[in-house]
Amino acid sequence: MTISREDVLRVAELAHLELTAEEIELYRGQLDEILDYISKLQQLDVTHVEPMTQMSFGSAEPAASSSASPHEAETDLREDTLRPCNIADAVLEQAPDAAKPFFRVPKVIER
Amino acid sequence: MSAATGWTVASTQAALRAKKVSAREIATEFYAKIERRNPGINAYLTLSRERAFAQADRVDVATACGEKLGPLAGVPIAVKDVISTAGVRTTCGSKILETYVPPYTATAVARLEKAGAVILGKTNCDEFAMGSSNENSAYGPVRNPVAMDRVPGGSSGGSAAAVAAGLAVAALGTDTGGSIRQPGACCGVPAMMPTYGRVSRYGLIAFASSLDRIGPLAANVADTAAIMSVIAGHDENDATSAAVPSPDYTMEIEQSIQGLRVGVPEEYFGDGIDSQVKEKVLAGIALLEKLGCRRVSLKMPHTEYAIATYYIIATAEASSNLARYDGVRYGLRVPGATLIDMYRNTRERGFGAEVKRRLMLGTYALSSGYYDAYYLRAQKVRALIARDFSEAFQKVDAIVTPTAPTPAFQLGEKTSDPLQMYLADIYTVTGSLAGIPGISVPCGTTKEKLPVGLQILGPHFSEARVLQLARAFEKAGGFVI
């Protein structure tokens, strides 16, 4: 695995990071080393393995010692009802530049 | 027992109820000590005196009126600075949130305060909880109160140091790949990562959402259990919070551990472990056997892939979660000619080196053409690691391992080599990936007097049993073995 300077620049652009010249070189070397280490995952045969995308677990109790495998717990979503919110002022108070009820940013549309 | 102050949850409750001391006096005592010692240790980033004394006064009024006090009445607690506190600055150890004051309070903190706890302030940590030494904080490293030239571990280094130095009776930390347990081990205090979903993440500023958990660090197991009892439980504000009833752990911890099967995976004692750490942890396991546990040797073949898996999943999730810091809605803004320039200038100035490194890695792993090779493959290996655990828990009731391969290292020792730093989490990331609970408890010290940590892992939602083992170990002298 070799990470090129162009790879670093492409990823930095995707991540909205403006890197200095020194950072580009530093990260190129370090990412190379880390990705080389990570490449050990390629050794494993995962052809028939389902990816673990679900982080909901059922209770291990009462049969605690025998039912530890993760499985989808019952969905427990709250009722979809309207509730008072009124947080705009508190939220805008933290904005670097607000023009109530908006956040102000550099112009994005040229006419 | 907190050697540093003498205050525990139990002793504060007894003293307050007997009216030997007021909550205000306790808080005053802690702030005086923080003033003396924090400049050297750098455990706290922000003190919340006004909020703390208002709460202490509420407890004192309740005492005077003969009202029933909450289970943590007047207990001084520190909160890691990635957990939101309305009206109290929350920086995540980052310049990008240097002036950020959250408009709401995390559920875990709200529950502590409802139980009467006094929040003293916010503790230092690696920037956005990314690190194993606390050296990635934008506000300077924390020093290990046990050995001031050493790191306290990370990322909850400030929380661990505050408890170890007696600058709080207990603290909340967060654990994504070991960030509660490893600093607990480095500073010599019990430190618990609950099951994923056991404690609400509402108000926890996200690093890696499928891994992040809030949990306690405390001076003893009873205090750990007392805090767990308060913060655990379902919360409708966190969709991943589990609707599984949580017991009063305080009532459970004294139960016998006689006959429990304790698994010892050989992969956790191989290359890279410090010989003194190995010796102490094996002595700890022998003590558990002496207490009536049955030792079972285990093989967990995917352990060696855990660090690689973790650093793909955690950085990928971080690259998505940290996209929100763009200078638009809160935190730092560095102006730019265009919107994109503003984003890039803000993030370049606001993020530190490790955060940028991880955002680069995570973005790379998710980028077009690499997703299957990295992120998808890591999710599959994660399933294999979780399966190692579920198979092990068919044979054993708990698994015991070292918490970290070495004791606390020197400040600056690993900062130039990110991969070496990542390997400090080699024994903790496995439990993180599997979503199971674990605790690190002190297990003696090395010849240099540096604390060693023993990790106890259990099946999902088995916190009570994990705490029982920890308590029996503590009672039998395991902490000073």
Cα–Cα distance for residue pair A19/A9, rounded to 1 Å: 8
CB contact under 8 A, A96 and B236: no
DSSP bridge partners of B122: B46, B79
* pLDDT tens by residue, B207-259: 999 999 999 999 999 999 999 999 999 999 999 999 899 999 999 999 999 99
Q: Are residues B215 and B267 in the same domain?
A: no
- Assign residue B108 the CATH number of its domain: 3.90.1300.10
Same domain, residue pair B117 and B210: yes
Q: What is residue B160's three-state secondary structure?
A: helix
The CA distance from B470 to B476, in Å, is 10
Domain identity same for B126 and B242: yes
B382 domain residue, yes or no:
no
Domain boundary among B372, B397, B417: B372
Per-residue pLDDT of chain B (481 residues; tens, 9 = 90+): 444 568 999 999 999 999 999 999 999 999 999 999 999 999 999 999 999 999 999 999 999 999 999 999 999 999 999 999 999 999 999 999 999 999 999 999 999 999 999 999 999 999 999 999 999 999 999 999 999 999 999 999 999 999 999 999 999 999 999 999 999 999 999 999 999 999 999 999 999 999 999 999 999 999 999 999 999 999 999 999 998 999 999 999 999 999 999 999 999 999 899 999 999 999 999 999 999 999 999 999 999 999 999 999 999 999 999 999 999 999 999 999 999 999 999 999 999 999 999 999 999 999 988 999 999 999 999 999 999 999 999 999 999 999 999 999 999 999 999 989 999 999 999 999 999 999 999 999 999 999 999 999 999 999 999 999 999 999 999 999 9
Do B275 and B223 share a structural domain?
A: no
Considering the domain boundaries, does residue B245 fall inside one?
yes
Please indicate, yes or no, if residue B378 is contained in any of the structural domains.
no
Which residues numbered 28-87 in A keep a CB inside 8 Å of some CB on B?
Answer: 30-31, 33-35, 37-38, 40-42, 44, 46, 49-53, 55-61, 64-70, 73-74, 76-78, 87
Burial class (CB in 10 A: 0-12, 13-18, 19+), A29: exposed
* Predicted-complex ipTM score: 0.90
- Asked whether residue B2 is assigned to any structural domain, the reply reads no
Same domain, B287 and B172: no
Locus of tokens 């109530």: A100
Q: In this structure, are B435 and B469 located in the same domain?
A: yes
CA distance to partner chain A, nearest, from residue B333 (Å): 6
The Cα–Cα gap between B6 and A11 comes to 52
What would the pLDDT profile of B13-53 be if each residue is shown by its tens digit?
999 999 999 999 999 999 999 999 999 999 999 999 999 99
Instruction: Say yes or no: B228 and B364 in one domain.
Output: no
Query: Where among B345, B372, B399 does a domain terminate?
Result: B372
Q: Using DSSP, state whether B189 is helix, strand or coil.
A: coil
**Is the domain of B393 the same as that of B318?**
no
Q: How far is CA A74 from CA A54, A57, B20, B387, in A?
A: 12, 9, 48, 21
Q: Quick check: is B296 in a domain?
A: yes
On whether residue B379 sits in a domain, the answer given is no
Q: Are residues B330 and B227 in the same domain?
A: no
Nearest-angstrom CA–CA distance, B308 and B77: 35
Query: pTM of the entire structure?
Result: 0.95
Residue range of the domain that includes B185: 9-252
Residues B137 and B44 in one domain: yes
**Residue to substitute from A8, A11, A103, interface B, most B β-carbons within 10 A:** A11
Q: Does B437 reside within a domain?
A: yes
**Domain match, B271 and B163 both:** no
Q: Which residues of A touch B377 (CB under 8 A)?
A: 41-42, 46
Closest alpha carbon to B180 in B137, B250, B129, B111: B129
User: Is residue B151 domain-resident?
Assistant: yes
Structural domain ending residue among the three candidates B325, B345, B372: B372
Could you give the residue numbers annotated as active site of B? Answer: 80, 155, 179
- Cα–Cα distance between B29 and B14 in angstroms, integer? 17
Shared domain for B296 and B313, answered yes or no, is no
Please tell me the total count of domains within chain B.
3
